[in-house]
Amino acid sequence: MTVTITAFERSPDRGNGLARDMRVRWALEEAGQPYEVRLLSFKTMKEPAHLAIQPFGQIPTYEDGELTLFESGAIVLHVAERGPGLLPDEAKARARAIMWMFAALNTLEPPIFDRSLVRILERDKPWYEERLSALDEIIRKRLEGLSSHLGDADWLDGAFSAGDLLMVTVLRRLQGLGLLEERPNLAAYVARAEARPAYQRAFEAQRAVFAASSAG
Amino acid sequence: MTVTITAFERSPDRGNGLARDMRVRWALEEAGQPYEVRLLSFKTMKEPAHLAIQPFGQIPTYEDGELTLFESGAIVLHVAERGPGLLPDEAKARARAIMWMFAALNTLEPPIFDRSLVRILERDKPWYEERLSALDEIIRKRLEGLSSHLGDADWLDGAFSAGDLLMVTVLRRLQGLGLLEERPNLAAYVARAEARPAYQRAFEAQRAVFAASSAG
């Protein structure tokens, strides 16, 4: 049975790997699991056929026979539980890797994703600078905690895990904005992850989709 | 070995069960797992002893022998995997229950939590009304998707699960504001969960902490 995921036909990030299908592609590549991709336009994402499997009208989804999932975090965890390389075998280390998955999505991602939205949607508002400063302050505190924890280790808890995978996809949103670069160990952590062959295969695959949609 | 969690010595929600220790208490009650609570002041939460186990200086944490976890979602999943009643045995249903855990924390909670913060921190800002309206629009769309999915079912996917537990703790933040009440099936869903004996034990336990701190 072939795994099928959904992704943007034309990603708003212009193929920079920030859309949430990147996480799922990367996890599937790390686990050595082949997959197919069904591309969705912004219009078809909100139509009944997609809403029946994703009630919030978003990407990505994951279909494998009779199992359909959404939520990139849940899909990555499912892939990590079934394949090799993304979760430690030892029970305590496994629980901590999953803890870092939740930390990426529930502690780091909300202010970082908000900041991206504010830069797009509120740029012309009179409160733009103040909103951005307030978010930067929150983000800096979170990065400080993460940086202190990481120290000079390669990964958040022993070997590379699904926790690192999600954390890196969240931190990449900050690249080039100065915030990540203030914490050299975090910038190096992201670069270390981006150098993984599985990351590079996933990145090229999503970039090829954007290139094809732009040429078409 | 006794499980120990951390919670606010004096919760900012005044014992209304909105702090994130409530999720963990409720999960432990559903699973029939006794626990102890170590209370932290806002000051001690940011001190080195706590930062060593929670790098972001937050509550709750979970300690069980040599395992220490933070992130309420990760703790609830850990409790659900070890005890009865919070995750189905069948693999596909289990994956979907975990999917709803991530949906609660990554799709519903960010705008709902933001709305709470805006109401406290930005009430006097010139953009207050506009920010609130924008968040309400996002929240309404998410509730629409959730309400359509739930329909007239009791729970999100078959039997009550850790996915419902987290979703209800997120939705409770909207009670009395009108948004939840616009979707009667969601309001009934929250009420159904609040009627569970395990919920009530957890709620009373966290309320007792606040009552004691107020009397002291």
Residues 6+ apart with CB under 8 A from B137: none
Residues 6+ apart with CB under 8 A from B120: none
**pLDDT single digits (tens) B29-74:** 999 999 999 999 999 999 999 999 999 999 999 999 999 999 999 9
Quote helix, strand, coil % in chain A, to nearest 5: 60, 10, 35
Chain B: residue nearest A108 by CA? B56
Domains identified in chain A, total number? 2
Chain B: residue nearest A98 by CA? B74
**Average pLDDT, stretch B2-29?**
96
State residue A216's pLDDT score.
Answer: 60
Q: Is the pLDDT of residue B133 over 80?
A: yes
Do both A188 and A97 map to the same domain? Answer: yes
Do both B22 and B32 map to the same domain? Answer: yes
Separation CA B175–CA B179 (nearest Å): 8
Best CA proximity match to A102, nearest among A29, A26, A175, A156: A156
Buried b (16+ CB within 10 A) or exposed e, B4-17: ebbbbbbbeeebbb
**pLDDT single digits (tens) B138-171:** 999 999 999 999 999 999 999 999 999 999 999 9
Q: Which residues between 113 and 132 in chain B have a beta carbon less than 8 angstroms from any beta carbon of chain A?
A: 113-114, 125-127, 130
Do both B8 and B68 map to the same domain? Answer: yes
A72 in Cβ contact with A103 (< 8 Å): no
State residue B213's pLDDT score.
Answer: 87
What domain range includes position B172?
91-196
A142 touches chain B (CB under 8 A): yes
**Average pLDDT, stretch B128-133?**
92
**Torsion angles phi and psi, residue A67, rounded to 5:** -100, 125
Q: What share of chain A in percent tops pLDDT 90?
A: 92
Q: Is it true that the peptide bond before B48 is cis, omega within 30 degrees of 0?
A: no
Do both A176 and A135 map to the same domain? Answer: yes
Select from B99, B147, B186 the residue whose CB has the most chain A CBs within 10 Å, as the one to mutate to test that interface.
Answer: B99
Q: Is the pLDDT of residue A127 over 90?
A: no
Q: Which of A34-43, A113-122, B48-57 has the lowest mean pLDDT?
A: A113-122
Q: How many Å lie between the alpha carbon of B48 and the closest alpha carbon of chain A? A: 11
State residue A121's pLDDT score.
Answer: 87
Do both B16 and B55 map to the same domain? Answer: yes
Q: Is the pLDDT of residue B125 over 90?
A: no
State residue B1's pLDDT score.
Answer: 74
Chain A: residue nearest B50 by CA? A145
Do both B148 and B191 map to the same domain? Answer: yes
State residue B152's pLDDT score.
Answer: 98
Separation CA A193–CA A25 (nearest Å): 14
Do both A204 and A192 map to the same domain? Answer: no
The CATH number of the domain holding residue A135 is 1.20.1050.10
Residues 6+ apart with CB under 8 A from B124: none
Do both A128 and A150 map to the same domain? Answer: yes
Length of chain A: 216
Q: Is the pLDDT of residue B95 over 70?
A: yes
Do both B57 and B102 map to the same domain? Answer: no
**Average pLDDT, stretch A68-90?**
97
The CATH number of the domain holding residue B12 is 3.40.30.10
Q: Is the pLDDT of residue A95 over 80?
A: yes
Separation CA B23–CA B10 (nearest Å): 17
Do both A33 and A111 map to the same domain? Answer: no
Do both A76 and A98 map to the same domain? Answer: no
Do both A41 and A52 map to the same domain? Answer: yes
